[in-house]
Amino acid sequence: MTAFIDANRDTFGVESICEELPIAPSTYYATKTRPPSKRQVEDERLATTAPPWWGRLDGHLSHGEGVDDG
């Protein structure tokens, strides 16, 4: 939701957008200024170290499934 606000804030303004969405302007601004959570930091770290085929599996492997790297 913050990406949508960022993309349209110059045209409509944050407050106007937030009136139409289920988010308060203060929540938007808090999201933009607070440091990333431990989870966000770990997700970023893992995203840069994940095997190249992981994205093709959409993050899911079931028992017995193999990966075709070919």
69 touches 53 (CB < 8 A): yes
Q: Give the pLDDT score at 23.
A: 93
What does the pLDDT look like over 13-25, one tens digit per residue? 999 999 999 999 9
What span, in angstroms and rounded, lies between the C-alpha atoms of 33 and 38?
15
pTM above 0.95, yes or no: no
Cα–Cα distances (Å) from 16 to 5, 6, 33, 50, in that order, read: 10, 13, 20, 39
Q: Where are the domains of the chain?
A: 2-50
